[in-house]
Homo-oligomer: A and B are copies of this chain.
Amino acid sequence: MVKIGLLGYGTVGTGTAEIILDASGRNNLLREIEIAKVGVRTLDKPRSPQLPTGVLTTDLSAIVCDPEIDIVVELLGGLEPSRSLILKAINNGKHIVTANKAVIARHGEEIYTAANQAGVYVLLEGAVGGGIPVIKPLKQSLGVNRIQTVIGIVNGTTNYILTQMTQEGADFAEVLAEAQKLGYAEADPTADVDGYDAADKIAILAAIAFNDRIKREDIPCEGIRQIDATDISYADSLDFVIKLLAIAKANPDDDSLQVRVHPTLVAKDHPLANVNDVYNAILVEGEPLGQVMFFGPGAGKGATASAVVSDIINIVGILQTSQTTQKLDPLLRCPHEHFTQLTPIAEIVTRFYARFLCRDVPGVIGHLGTSFGNHNVSLESVVQIGFRNNLAEIVVVTHDVREGNFREALKEIESLESIDSIPSILRVL
């Protein structure tokens, strides 16, 4: 039997126990696992599934030091005490399974370094995309390609909000309130709606896909608070939907990477455009493969527990076939060792959508064209969509342009007499 210690017995923890304790009809390796210890904050609460006496404990530190335990499954979430417990477990020779994107995105370096020194695995399929197998396929299957891009819809809350805004024509604030009522958004929605959760996840995906460490704090990150129903409707009429995308992209000219999170116009016939509600999807593009996409439930008890337990049985399978004193499987261990340079946002090349409120319609299109031209911004389309408070509303979609040039053009345009304001600026995939 392989003995595991669970840190945390909340939603994902109980989901994990439910799978392991009800093994019939599932992979036979589940019968080789014993839940030896489960660390919780208090012993007073009733727990389901129930565990044998002595399994529950409030001494989490004892679990990560327990010589009986082979695998520590960290399901506490958050940075501390998760980070310290994981490091302590590694130093005690335990393999780690975690669904904690925040601690890996922010403290991955010391965790991976410690794990490689100790000769243990740190598996984290549940940290990104809930139940969608994506981390292991990236490590084991897609790495023979030269990866060019990884683009994910990796936050279910914001995808639900944007889907509702699109389908109902509703405003952000009202959909957020509804999502909070339904339990799809937290009381404090910051981590989701401001894109921080998505940034944690793309930091993890990019590190694996491009075999480089990523400084989480260097990832430019825009959320969806400023998305207006107006822009969703204009995007629709231009055959786009708006999605919060987490993007990692190899720059063709050098070794540097672009990693960023922002709301993005996605063409309706793009595979990511049909990923709606709380579903997640991760699209990977590589040479010579082309595009593959992984789609599924990005969160939830059963989905995340499925990913966590799959990591556990992967380690169980390895423990059955090789001695622990041997080398780690090069496809499952963490191979990257160096931080890579992230491209500053001003240097990325992308298309833009911008909406202008203008005073003088006949003149303004010429002025816009001139200002954009002054900064080498070439326009794909200029559409006058309507009127709002006696101001003409003009929407512009650019060709690919260096972001810095586009921003400089906007500065010039803002100072034009004929421009009242620029309510929206969005990137286009």
Contacts and interface: CB of A to CB of B under 8 A. Distances in A.
Interface of A: 15, 18-19, 25-30, 125, 131-133, 136-137, 140-146, 271, 274, 286-297, 300-303, 305-307, 309-310, 313-314, 317-318, 320-323, 326-332, 335
A180 to B, nearest CB: 23
Nearest to A137: B133
Number of copies: 2
A240 B296 CA distance: 22
A303 B300 CA distance: 32
Contacts of A305: 288
A117 to B, nearest CB: 17
Contacts of A320: 327, 329-330
20 contacts: A27-B143, A27-B144, A29-B331, A30-B144, A131-B292, A133-B292, A136-B137, A145-B306, A288-B301, A288-B306, A289-B297, A290-B297, A293-B294, A294-B295, A317-B331, A317-B332, A320-B327, A321-B326, A321-B328, A322-B323
Nearest to A296: B292
A377 B30 CA distance: 42
Given A136-B141, A310-B142, A321-B329, A290 B286 contact: no
Given A29-B330, A271-B274, A296-B292, A142 B321 contact: no
Contact of A292 (B295, B332, B335): B295
Nearest to A16: B144
Contacts of A296: 289-293
Contacts of A323: 322
A321 B317 CA distance: 13
A271 B137 CA distance: 21
Contacts of A326: 321-322
B144 A289 contact: no
A295 B285 CA distance: 12
A349 B143 CA distance: 42
A282 to B, nearest CB: 11
Contacts of A133: 133, 137, 140-142, 292
Given A141-B125, A290-B300, A294-B294, A331 B314 contact: yes
Nearest to A19: B144
Given A286-B306, A321-B327, A321-B330, 5 more contacts: A136-B137, A136-B141, A290-B297, A317-B331, A322-B323
A144 B26 contact: yes
A36 B28 CA distance: 38
A330 B328 CA distance: 17
Contact of A293 (B18, B295, B327): B295
Given A141-B310, A327-B321, A297 B291 contact: yes
B288 A303 contact: yes
Contacts of A291: 296-297
A333 to B, nearest CB: 9
A131 B287 CA distance: 11
